[in-house]
Structure 1
């Protein structure tokens, strides 16, 4: 018995340190495995489209006259009065008159708002080619998480502005208004709308004036907008600032709506193609803008004579595009001041050009926040600081080469996130899994619990009781 006891004691005394060492090594190994799979830059932390369940999307039944047939009208019967020498408005070369899915215009005034075209193109793609899509199209509205309204609202608005701007805010003689009314009459008569009060319907409104006449009717819905700048006042110049001219904040909110990118107008520059940049700061655009544009005018006057700074009037259309490419690719920083609205396509042109954005816009909202950390590749400057003489120039000069290189490396990682074009004719075909369309649907997917909560809250109200919408915008 004594021998047995001694043997047992010896075995026990040897096994404790061995077990301790074993579990220590196992913990260290597990920790490094965890780091391997979870550690990455903030820029790579955007979720994979297939990391969570997809979103079920039902496409509302609207006639082609409200989407693809509008494109046919654009190509063959539309003349944009805003572009007297519109070399960007040329009919496509392929058999376009019979094309089921015409291309979207290259006219930069319209192309920058083309999100509606690419989102719908993905949904119209046959199921066998949609393996990379986060949105799953369903044919029964009862199975849908959201209802997509297939109206090219921005194209409709821009065509009206280009053909007869004077009629835009009127209802008589306004083709865009007639189309808006047709859309709302169609969707509001459906069971899907009545079941949710429109809260689970998705509208693409990339131009701030899209669906201007019916904004109050679509206020409960999920709105895909480039920012909230166009929602604050209907017409600040033509009104007497009466209450009826003010659009309440309850119609737009980061809680229910999704900020989407403008479509970039300049081609992507790969990091391996980046060359020496001899300019400090570049800006191309209009000096004089309305609303928040007063900041731009003051910045222009402060920066125009600084060494290594280029401030140019113009827009990257067919004639100015090459100037913009050259300017953004040879400058360390690209200025992004507020204009008519807090943001513009200029920001996304800068990202594709690997030109570090300098954002001077205190009220800006940015796409895919929470998925992307813009501070990893952009410089944010308070308006009050930027308007101090020489402050901005000295601030940008203070960045080291290492800091600027790191900004560009981070920017190169997020370039694909802001790309809509899938490279297929008419936008019909597989989309990049890490592109803009999938990231938009992932952001809508994040809204689903709030949408369902709002619908349930509305249903439990007694008949005749009306509770005002309350949306926190910040």
Structure 2
């Protein structure tokens, strides 16, 4: 190990003094007695050796490396890159000195590769609509963006992140998390890193339900064989999914949109499910987690710099809308109304996304519109929620919701309990949604400033930090930190309730 500057200076100074005195033979005379001369020489030699041991070879403790999370398997170039990043996560964890508050101790299952890494071999077929190979790179962050603010910093925090990739980023973050344990006996959470969203989107057009469900069924069979599962039958287990819950709930009577049966399986109902959109009515074991945006900082400086920029951002437009018209009576009605009102107003900035408008796929263009707006309209998309909600908060733009299920019933762990502190609500069936500009103009400047301050303060907990970030440098709680703490508390409450019911049944 190399010496620190202080150690080097001290050791060098002492050695030079010894050399100086040893070479000053003409000025410093040892006694003539040979035994005394030998003893003095031996004393100097041993003293020198002792100091070299102290300064040049400081005591260190060695720690055995954890077992590799992924089995050795031949994977594609992108899978291999992802594997290398995960291994580096473990190295980072061992070389830093992160702290864990003691409330969370999460064990990560070493699943067979068919449930995660092997899926990346067929990245070009993971989504029936697009090639996912560029998006699964960098542990799910996607391709780096070079035309964004802060991109000149030591580590670029900007990536073209796909909206349905949270499960990969979550996995990478937990692997490097300070509260991770390799000892299942010490864990209070058990994470099952199944890339269920990537798998289900590759099977949307599979007509055979048995084939469509097969991997989910094999996952549960695998878990049933684990002693850690049998201890509480999965009540302390959780899974993170990058797609909406509707993609994992196939109903017999309704139309078949390509969903599988994962969330209908009784064993999964014992588990906690993290998903970007939960079922508001029958999802008691489901917990909403934010869609990933494009910003993945690795230091607190990057986060603080971005928040400061958003506070100082000039916002000439009262409101904006980014989106395309939709088919269907309900979806079309509110979106058509938004587009119409925005086009008629000089205070609104519209980014219309029909016809393949390239600006709608450019993160820089999207965030620029939001950074220039005080309010951002959030119409429901194919389902209640949309990634745009989190893009707008990242941009310091106050979200305007038209369905309570777009945010209020979804992300209780992440959003303030009082919705009016950070958002505006207009019922899509009510009169207010017909007079959007009028409603927004009634909000005082002071109230707008308070709301924007709250929104910008929310950015860290709604952001997925870079998986390679050291917790000692991060300095804030991101999505994964917030989710693990809330999940640990939820599991504790659930287990305590179960234990209480068992105790009461004995009397």
Query: If the TM-score is normalised by the length of the shorter chain, which range does it land in?
Result: 0.5 to 0.7
Aligned to 1:78: 125
Q: In structure 2, how many angstroms separate the alpha carbons of the residues matched to 1:210 and 1:109?
A: 23
Matched residue, 1:344 = 386
How big is the shift at 1:412?
Answer: 1.9
Matched, 1:111 2:162: yes
User: Which residue of the partner structure matches residue 185 of structure 1?
Assistant: 221
Give the direction of change, closer, same or farther, for the CA distance of 1:411–1:204 in structure 2 (3 Å limit): same
Q: CA RMSD in A?
A: 3.8
Which one of 104, 108, 128 corresponds to residue 59 of structure 1?
108
What SS does the corresponding residue of 1:219 show, helix, strand or coil? helix
1:288 corresponds to which of 326, 329, 335: 326
Answering whether residue 135 of structure 2 is matched by residue 121 of structure 1, we say: no
- Following superposition of structure 1 onto structure 2, how do residues 314-393 of structure 1 map, counting pairs within 5 Å? 319-363=361-405, 364-369=408-413, 372-373=416-417, 374-385=419-430, 388-390=433-435, 392-393=436-437
Contact kept, 8 Å, 1:67 with 1:152, in 2: the verdict is: yes
CA–CA distance in 2 between the matches of 1:214 and 1:187? 14
Task: Please list the CA deviations of residues 379-423 of structure 1 after superposition, one character each: whole Å capped at 9, or x if unmatched.
Answer: 223334355532x22011122333222222222212111111326
Query: Contact between 1:422 and 1:432, CA under 8 Å: does it hold in 2?
Result: no
Q: Normalising to structure 1: TM-score of the pair?
A: 0.66
Runs of 4+ in 1 over 6 A off after TM superposition: 107-110, 315-318, 427-430
2:490 to 447, 455, 459: 447
Supply the distance in 2 between the matched residues of 1:368 and 1:67 (Cα, whole angstroms): 28
Match of 2:278 in 1: 228
CA contact (8 A) 1:288 1:296 kept: no
Alignment of 1:109-188 (within 5 A): 111-125=162-176, 130=177, 133=178, 135-140=179-184, 142-160=185-203, 165-167=204-206, 170-174=208-212, 177-188=213-224
Deviations 1:25-66 (A, max 9, x none): xxxxxxxxxxxxxxxxxxxxxxxx979532122223411232
Give the conservation status (yes or no) of the 8 Å contact 1:287–1:300.
no
Q: Greater CA radius of gyration, 1 or 2? A: 2
Q: Partners of 1:423 and 1:149 in 2: how far apart? A: 18
Q: Distance in 2 between matches of 1:149 and 1:357?
A: 33
Deviates more, 1:189-198 or 1:314-323: 314-323
| Unpaired stretches in structure 1, ≥5 consecutive residues | 1-48, 233-248, 463-474
Asked if structure 2 preserves the Cα contact closer than 8 Å seen for 1:338 and 1:361, the reply is yes
Q: In structure 1, how many angstroms separate the alpha carbons of the residues matched to 2:217 and 2:160?
A: 24
**Alignment partner, residue 456 of structure 1:** 499
Pairwise CA distance, 1:288: 0.9
1:320-352 deviation line (CA, Å, top 9, x unaligned): 433312211111110012233222111100011
Equivalent pair of 1:266/1:353 in contact (CA under 8 Å): no
Change in CA separation of 1:215 and 1:358 when aligned onto 2, cut-off 3 Å: same
1: CA distance, partners of 2:126 / 2:262: 26
Q: Distance in 1 between matches of 2:236 and 2:488?
A: 11
Question: Are the structure 2 counterparts of residues 156 and 79 from structure 1 closer, same or farther at C-alpha, using a change threshold of 3 Å?
Answer: closer
Measure how far apart 1:430 and its partner are.
7.4
Gaps of 5+ in 2: 1-97, 145-158, 249-259, 297-302
Confirm or deny: 8 A CA contact 2:235 2:270 kept in the other structure: yes
2:445 to 382, 401, 405: 401
Match of 2:31 in 1: none
Aligned to 1:28: none
Tell me how far apart the structure 1 counterparts of residues 326 and 427 of structure 2 sit (CA, whole Å). Answer: 20
Structure 2: how far apart are the matches of 1:272 and 1:116? Answer: 29
Query: CA offsets, 1:402-447, max 9 Å, x none?
Result: 322222222221211111132629x999765411110001110220
Match of 1:69 in 2: 118
Residue-pair matches, total: 365
8 Å Cα contact 1:58/1:139 also seen in 2? yes
